[in-house]
Structure 1
């Protein structure tokens, strides 16, 4: 089974720009049911990825000691490119589910952006997508 069969397609993803503020991510993570936001340039080329874990890691030094207005100012002044992961481990549509699962385990990551040959974002596959595929895939016949 290929990643193309189980990935979330580009038109269903929320992306952000590298120069967007962390405040914009706060809103995305607060409303969304996903944990990763691909970072793209104006040509839809993948330049990075930011996770909710990356976001909170950036905030953790100020969370306990700062007031709400100070935290708000902090996340408005910090940019996505300051916390995103780049370069990103990616796959293409022809990558098998087994290959993708091996990459997730090898690199201890939660998702893989799916890109074309020019690094244009075409989708994203997460460990949850892979688990869902494993659970819904028909069992192999007994021999």
Structure 2
């Protein structure tokens, strides 16, 4: 099975100089956990919802919020993005993706074309969902032989 069969092509991207307030708005309005960071149409990095919430003050939106807390929303994507993400071509297999997930501390892999332009994203959640729905049977079959 290929990553193209499980990847999401619904990509939402941000740029290096975008404010974290915009990233926060995206995560709050769309049910996703990763944004691809794009520079010159190519994948430059990844920002996860966890990256965002680590960078923001926990006092935002509370009675104790100060201007210093609010200022964390003005930080830029380049300050928190994971740079040079591990990527895979559309021709990669699910087994290759699983190997990368198991050997690196990441939860998404951008799928790119030969020019490093994003065409999809695969996550650990998408693989687990496919396993639960029995879409991935090759893995279990291979292990028993």
> Does TM-score exceed 0.5, indicating one fold?
yes
Q: How does 1:48-127 map to 2 (within 5 A)?
A: 48-59=45-56, 62-64=57-59, 67-76=65-74, 78-127=75-124
Q: Normalized against structure 2, the TM-score is what?
A: 0.84
Which is further off, 16-25 or 125-134? 125-134
**Local SS of the residue matching 1:50:** strand
Q: Deviations over 1:74-116 (max 9, x none)?
A: 212x100010000111111111111101101210211100011
Q: State the Cα RMSD in Å.
A: 2.1
Higher helix residue share = 1
Aligned residues: 136
**Local SS of the residue matching 1:125:** strand
Taking the aligned partners of 1:36 and 1:22, their CA distance within structure 2 comes to 13
Change (3 A) 1:82 1:138: closer
Unpaired runs of 5+ residues, structure 1, are: none
Q: Verify the 8 A CA contact 1:23 1:72 in the aligned structure 2.
A: no
Structure 2 partner of 1:17:
15
Q: Verify the 8 A CA contact 2:130 2:136 in the aligned structure 1.
A: no
Q: Verify the 8 A CA contact 2:3 2:92 in the aligned structure 1.
A: yes
Taking the aligned partners of 2:125 and 2:136, their CA distance within structure 1 comes to 18
Change (3 A) 1:13 1:68: farther
Unpaired runs of 5+ residues, structure 2, are: none
Taking the aligned partners of 1:25 and 1:70, their CA distance within structure 2 comes to 19
